Amino acid sequence: MNIEQIYTGCLAQGAYYITSNGEAAIIDPLRETQPYIDRLEKDGAKLKYIFETHFHADFVSGHVDLSNRAGAEIVYGPTANPKFKSIIAENDQIFEIGNVKIKVLHTPGHTMESSCFLLIDEHGKESALFSGDTLFLGDVGRPDLAQKASHLTQDELAGLLYQSLIEKIMPLADDITVYPAHGAGSACGKNMQKETVDTLGNQKKTNYALNQRNKEAFIKAVTNGLLAPPAYFGMNVAMNKNGYGSFEQVLNMGMTAFSADDFEMTAENSGALILDTRSNVDFAKGFIPQSVNIGLNGDFAPWVGAMIVDVKQPILLVNDEGQEEEAITRLSRVGFDSVLGHLKGGFSAWKNSGKETDDVNRITADEFASRFETGKSIVVDVRRESEYAAEHVEEAYSKPLAYINDWIKDVDSQEHFFLHCAGGYRSMIAASILQARGYRNFTEVEGGFSAIVQTNVPRTDFICQSKVLSPNS
């Protein structure tokens, strides 16, 4: 028997590959299936089952494509109702893979169909728990995502999650290895540990959610401080439940290479968003007007999902040469399948064609320090609230990037402000969106707060709740 965790950092997502005596199972696969096919061929294993812990909200699973390609059956827990052929397992149902068994534990709460899969090894020992979004390391799955589909409130779902954990998970042996679906950085939880594997016994000791005195305390603890989920979550659930076009079709369309002239014409005729995936450093120096920068070398897919509200939005890509396939792949993982193509030769081709370009007014932290005036300078901090609360530029406004579509309308287009995040990645996303919507009254700080702390700009951890971005906000 072999268990392999296939962890994808940009999504903080864990898929699992299990083999035993020539047979294999994959749990919660990613969208692109060729790596799994290659691995199966290398190992000489036949894929028997694809186990889905639930209808995922934060990524599009590869279950449909993988089933079609490998002939494996898709398995969900009780109450699931997908629109494609699958096995809807009963609670405690056993599935055999080679010499090992997988037992289905129905654990509603995160979603109604949520299930964990308990692996029983060759010796009959319960040895591993693939806990999906029911149990994370340091946390449990948020209970607010399935409210509409289940007609239950988040408190009612949290109550179901409590019962699932108490009745199905806590009685299991302490030495069982827990393999969760997500780690730190995922929007599916709020308090996840950076580790991706642990023992159940350690989680019983250290996981705050497993140490609440009663059901009421559990509900309060797990629902407190939940941020609104990204807009694309519901659309990803629908794709995972209803099916989707093949990844190969998505990739083939996205790999269409346009000349600068054809790229410009396609953008005008299609209403496509121009998405520039280069680094924030390169983007600041020059870009196609109206394009949005979300760098590939960062939390690319989650930020695309957070910033672009509709997964069906047509997209045209501007990449560093050779990065097109990676960008298309990572977009497809969160359901953005309408990539019409990319600019052949990248931004250099556009610039060399003599077409119009734009840039961002970016300064160094030292320049910011020389221009900053306490009580006069307006500073907009687009980091998360928790980062801002820990320390921030004195009198800065907290305007998290995740909510830019809400606060951008309150920006005074005539009043200058400085813009920063932690290191430049998020503030350049904000800068590109601001300029695409006609705002040019700001200066972005290169290196963000990490560079600002090296200067003499005054900082504080005091939060003035009455401070607003403009008189109209």
Task: Compute how many other C-beta atoms are within 10 angstroms of the C-beta atom of residue 319.
Answer: 20
Say which DSSP state 241 is in: H
Fold type of domain 245-352: Oxidized Rhodanese; domain 1 (3.40.250)
Q: How far is CA 358 from CA 161, 178, 259, 343, in A?
A: 50, 50, 19, 17
Identify the CA nearest to 66 among candidates 25, 28, 38, 33. Answer: 33
Fold type of domain 362-460: Oxidized Rhodanese; domain 1 (3.40.250)
Within 13 Å, how many C-alpha atoms sit on residue 375's CB side?
A: 0
What's the CA gap between 360 and 424, in Å, rounded? Answer: 12
Give the torsion sign (CA, 389, 395, 401, 402). Answer: positive
Written out in words, the top-level CATH class of the domain with range 2-234 is: alpha beta
Which mean pLDDT values do the consecutive 10-residue runs of the chain (473 residues) have?
94 96 98 96 97 97 97 98 97 98 98 98 98 97 89 95 98 98 88 94 97 97 90 94 96 98 97 98 98 95 92 97 97 97 98 97 98 95 94 96 93 94 98 96 98 96 51 33
- Sort residue 171 into left (φ over 0), alpha (ψ -120 to 50) or beta: alpha
List Cβ neighbours of 296 (8 Å cut-off, separation of 6 or more): 277, 278, 319, 320, 323, 326, 327, 330
φ/ψ (deg, to 5) at 40: -60, -45
Cα 388 vs. chain centroid, distance in angstroms? Answer: 21
Say which DSSP state 167 is in: I
Identify the CA nearest to 381 among candidates 257, 467, 315. Answer: 467
DSSP E strands in 227-337: the ranges are: 257-258, 273-276, 292-293, 315-318
Q: What stretch(es) of the chain map to CATH 3.60.15.10?
A: 2-234
Cα 371 vs. chain centroid, distance in angstroms? Answer: 37
User: Residue 468: its pLDDT value, please?
Assistant: 41
What's the CA gap between 144 and 366, in Å, rounded? Answer: 44
List Cβ neighbours of 374 (8 Å cut-off, separation of 6 or more): 394, 395, 458
Q: What stretch(es) of the chain map to CATH 3.40.250.10?
A: 245-352, 362-460
Residue 147: its H or E element? helix 147-150
